[in-house]
Structure 1
Amino acid sequence: MQVPANSETFEKVEATKSYLDSHYSNLMREVEERRERRRVLQEKLSEAGLTPEQQRNYMEELGRQESQALRQRRQQLKLNDFEMLTVIGRGAFGEVRVVRKKDTGEIYAMKKLKKSEMVKMGQVQHVKAERNLMAAASCPWVVQLDFSFRDEIYLYLVMEYVPGGDMMNLLMKKEVLSEDEVRFYMAECVMAVEAVHNMGYLHRDLKPDNLLITKQGHIKLSDFGLATTGNEDKV
């Protein structure tokens, strides 16, 4: 007799399926992107009038650089690889902290999520969607996911750090935006939402707190915890 799976088991099965789907999808995308980079470089080298030997040397150098970058991405990170700095946000089952990667000195925003709370609150699929969306994003309108790893208790999402604060802070500081500022930010919001839709997702949590501002003054969408592909039973 088949024993019905409880909600925790179901969440774990769905999380595993989602991980495998995302993993193989990302592998295929990486292969296609690498092939396209090589094609474009080959065209540029041919147009530059280089000799076949010079072209071959450039292509070999590209291969070495890509292999090195791939090895760095595949290395298993751990919490000790980062220096903990300032806490910049707290949520239902985690926190966001500014961190510094020790080997490069680069600054990131790290979201730390307690796995048991994610399962208990039925949020595994939402977190997976958030991770997959940010990992797949290759546009200036979405906060990028640079690394993700986990330990026995937590899942860690290491994202680009956007230092300009968010739209809520800007509104509280200025109280009233000029018409030109409103037009500018609304236009960028439309482009950001369109970029997410083009990736096959719905954000579903648009608000000033989730509109980050870069140091150049442009918008980036963040917090995709409620994002969905729109294929679920309930949207």
Structure 2
Amino acid sequence: MKTMLKSEMRKQGQLAHVKSERDVLAGSDSEWVVSLYYSFQDAHYLYLIMEFLPGGDLMTMLMRYDIFSEDITRFYMAECVLAIEVIHKLGYIHRDIKPDNILIDRKGHIKISDFGLSTGSHRTHDANYYRNLLEKLPSATPGVNADGTRNSINVDAIHLTISNRTQMQTWRKSRRLMAYSTVGTPDYIAPEIFIHTGYGQECDWWSMGAIMYECLVGFAPFASETPRETCNKILAWPETLHFPDDVHVSREAEDLIRRLLTSADQRLGRGGADEIKAHPFFAGVDWDSMREFQAPFVPRLQSITDTSYFPTEELANVPDRPEVSAANAAAADAHAARRADGESDQLAKENLPFIGYTFSRFDHLTRRNAL
């Protein structure tokens, strides 16, 4: 169950994204997208009831195994291609493709989740998107300050190699905690999202390229110790994207990553998923039968409610969700009193953006049984 505080959604300017998330989940009936069963609300919260995928997520797997072989990486990236293709065909941009949002089902196959930052592809991006990250950036142009002078970008802000697993795991744990924060993690965000010039569905393919790099190398391509440093490195990707000397990556894999981690107008996938499917790295992939193949990792479950594949150790450091304040509770009481007195209904006006949020995937079954 995912819960969202209405007042926070209004405060953060996330009303359009809340509706987009509900719509894409309700409108999808794909095996590559997590299933929404119900959505509903009360006076203060929005609720999404979704299917339980017991295998955890791709980030947990990366924390456990450090890196994947190219064959295993090919499997997960091929399934990601199919999942992202479904989202795009529905007319949406996910905008938050990252290992945390790639969930593993009971048979080891992936499904995409968390559409809280998704948007319809017909809309230009919201100026408030990733506002907390952008407001501290020196400029929107790589290496250029607001006054036009050059700044230095610390390419070596963090030194991560396959031989330094302790530092790699430290970065992963801090990145995981950042994912729970209101700021979020920018490690997989395409550069065009940061520079107010608009973007399209191709930004999701950049994210997949960053994930593929992490699967093969062991850390995100622009990993740094702070979100600001990461943003700077993403904006300066032509100078900061490199492959460590002590990591072997095939020519085909490196070529695909470089063709995804590039400018939007040159990025593979800008013309559709078929461009990526045709890349030599995916030679031999049977795109029509991916879910019929044995997954490289199949969770060993003790029961249908087994949660052992979900990380819990870092949750102790995650702040509690915002509670409904006494003022809001008092406002709700006053709202009931005003309705009794026939006065203006301010709370009703505030809830207008959430009209039509309720959804049940099984309504047709209920109606059929009633008949």
Please give the TM-score of this superposition, normalised by the length of structure 1.
Answer: 0.52
Q: CA deviation at 1:134?
A: 0.5
- Pairing 1:116-135 to 2, within 5 Å after superposition: 116-135=7-26
Alpha-carbon distance in structure 1 between the residues aligned to 2:28 and 2:123: 21
Give secondary structure in 1 for the equivalent of 2:39: strand
Quote the sequence identity (%).
56
Q: Any runs of at least 4 consecutive aligned residues in structure 1 with deviations exceeding 6 A, and if so which?
A: none
Q: Which structure dedicates a bigger proportion of its chain to strand?
A: 1
Give secondary structure in 2 for the equivalent of 1:177: coil
Paired amino acid for 1:227? S
Paired amino acid for 2:57? D
Alpha-carbon distance in structure 1 between the residues aligned to 2:70 and 2:11: 45
Are 1:213 and 2:125 an aligned pair? Answer: no
Are 1:149 and 2:40 an aligned pair? Answer: yes
Q: CA deviation at 1:172?
A: 0.6
Residue by residue, what CA displacement relative to the aligned partner does 1:154-195 show, whole Å, maximum 9, x if unpaired? Answer: 111111111110000000101121221111001000000001
Paired amino acid for 1:233? T
Q: CA deviation at 1:212?
A: 0.5
Q: How many residues of Structure 1 are paired with residues of Structure 2 in the alignment?
A: 126
Alpha-carbon distance in structure 2 between the residues aligned to 1:200 and 1:232: 10
Paired amino acid for 2:40? F
Give secondary structure in 1 for the equivalent of 2:74: helix
Alpha-carbon distance in structure 1 between the residues aligned to 2:124 and 2:55: 37
Of residues 120, 123, 137, the one that matches 1:229 is 120
Structure with bigger gyration radius: 2
Q: What corresponds to 1:198 in structure 2?
A: 89
Q: CA deviation at 1:233?
A: 2.9
Residue by residue, what CA displacement relative to the aligned partner does 1:212-235 show, whole Å, maximum 9, x if unpaired? Answer: 011101010011111111222325
Q: What corresponds to 2:79 in structure 1?
A: 188
Give secondary structure in 1 for the equivalent of 2:47: strand
Q: What corresponds to 2:57 in structure 1?
A: 166
Alpha-carbon distance in structure 2 between the residues aligned to 1:180 and 1:215: 21
- Pairing 1:22-171 to 2, within 5 Å after superposition: 110-171=1-62
Give secondary structure in 2 for the equivalent of 1:220: strand
Give secondary structure in 1 for the equivalent of 2:122: coil
Residue by residue, what CA displacement relative to the aligned partner does 1:75-104 show, whole Å, maximum 9, x if unpaired? Answer: xxxxxxxxxxxxxxxxxxxxxxxxxxxxxx
Alpha-carbon distance in structure 1 between the residues aligned to 2:17 and 2:99: 20
Residue by residue, what CA displacement relative to the aligned partner does 1:128-174 show, whole Å, maximum 9, x if unpaired? Answer: 10011001111100011100111111111111111110000000101
Q: What corresponds to 1:107 in structure 2?
A: none
Alpha-carbon distance in structure 1 between the residues aligned to 2:124 and 2:74: 36
> Which is bigger in relative contact order (C-alpha 8 A, separation at least 6)?
2
Alpha-carbon distance in structure 2 between the residues aligned to 1:136 and 1:161: 19
Alpha-carbon distance in structure 2 between the residues aligned to 1:140 and 1:199: 14
Paired amino acid for 2:86? A
Paired amino acid for 1:176? I
CA RMSD of superposed structures (Å):
0.9
Alpha-carbon distance in structure 2 between the residues aligned to 1:207 and 1:147: 25
Paired amino acid for 1:175? D
Give secondary structure in 2 for the equivalent of 1:183: helix
Paired amino acid for 1:135? A
Q: What corresponds to 2:69 in structure 1?
A: 178
Q: Which structure dedicates a bigger proportion of its chain to helix?
A: 1
Structure 1: runs of 5 or more not aligned: 1-109
